[in-house]
Amino acid sequence: MKVRVGVNGYGTIGKRVADAVARQPDLELVGVAKTRPNFEARRAFERRIPLYLAGPGTAADFDAAGIRTAGTLADLLGRVDVIVDATPDKVGRENRAAYERAGIRAIFQGGEKADVAEASFSALSNYAACRGKRRLRIVSCNTTGIARAAAAIEPRWGVERWDVVLVRRATDPADSHKGPVNGIVPTLQIPSHHGPDVRTIYPELPITTTALVVPTTLMHVHVNHVRFRRVPGGRAELVAAFRETPRFRLFASWEHVEGTAQAMEVARDRSEGRGDMMENVVWEEGVRVDGSDAYFFQAIHQESIVVPENIDAIRAMMDLAPDGAASVAITDRALGLGRA
């Protein structure tokens, strides 16, 4: 029998997770919950995804828009084994009690503080430790990207020191309310919150992150300097490590993927859907190893990178796969993600 999954919050992350759930062989999308009718509610309705009322939403609002609802969030919670909360930052914590009352497992997103859940999750790093948990938090897009890179690097060479400068996108493409539209805004808190967040997955990782926000919507870019404990054979070894790790997409110089604009064009070219890039993007030519020091850039598609991790977190909680590698393989096959 398939595990029954609901999604509360049908925005940027929620609609992607819902679509991804529907594509998994062992999961069933029971429905999604929304507070108000909008273009996303219309999409769910037209795709016959049962739509439930959340927060202050009323059936009358949806009726007026010609969108039928299937019940309230409480009804949805009564029909699922797992709820994925993809509501805005801090709303997930407010919803936690309702999930507990319903006696179901819950997944929260990176906008919540780590203590909203029993553990923070990254599929390549701590799947085994998260098996059977009742509440998991998927770390943010940037943290997921760094944790994946750590999964490629840490077991092979160990990390003496890791500095990351995060060049962050201003906002998501569909959000016309935020900026900056001009100028570069440094995050004056040092380290930025990302380093401590990575340590919710890798408690001992000596990582320091600094961040600045730039006027783009396409992706984040991380500029990495890692000092290894054990000296690798050279850059070819590091490139090979990224190649061998699931959920990395490497670009060779002849492909002329000069930056995030072309990386997202690749995503759109290969897509049958909304043109997501769920893998970490690494430019081969930008990987450099000097003795025990390594440098590389990676780009992170903020709107989609956490989607496969949400799916693996469901499998970990429900113990649906023999191990993390098996879950990642099932997820990636269903989502059409290949190795680099």
* Residues of this chain that bind ligand NAD (CB under 6 A): 8-14, 33, 35, 54-55, 86-89, 91, 109-112, 140-141, 172, 302-303, 306
For residue 241, the minimal CB distance to ligand NAD (Å) is 25
141 is catalytic: yes
User: How many residues are listed for the chain in this entry?
Assistant: 340
Closest to ligand NAD by CB, 88 vs 158, is 88
Three state DSSP letters for 86-144 = CCCCCHHHHHHHHHHHHCCEEEECCCCCHHHCCEEECHHHHCHHHCCCCEEEECCHHHH
Closest to ligand NAD by CB, 23 vs 193, is 193
Of the residues 73, 141, 146, 219, which is catalytic?
141
Tell me which DSSP letter residue 244 carries. Answer: H
For residue 224, the minimal CB distance to ligand NAD (Å) is 20
Cα-Cα end-to-end distance for the chain: 33
Task: Count other C-beta atoms under 10 Å from residue 160's C-beta.
Answer: 13
Integer Cα distance of 197 and 138 in angstroms: 11
Closest to ligand NAD by CB, 276 vs 303, is 303
Closest to ligand NAD by CB, 54 vs 320, is 54
Helix axis angle for 324-335 and 307-318, nearest 10°, is: 140
Instruction: Give the nearest residue (CB) to ligand NAD.
Output: 11
Phi, psi of 82 (to 5 degrees): -135, 135
For residue 100, the minimal CB distance to ligand NAD (Å) is 16
For residue 314, the minimal CB distance to ligand NAD (Å) is 16
Residue 167 falls in which region: left (phi positive, over 0), alpha (psi -120 to 50) or beta: beta
Longest dimension (CA), the chain: 66
For residue 277, the minimal CB distance to ligand NAD (Å) is 13
Closest to ligand NAD by CB, 55 vs 286, is 55
Sign of the Cα torsion 331, 102, 140, 163 reads negative
Integer Cα distance of 279 and 64 in angstroms: 40
Which residues are the active-site residues?
A: 141
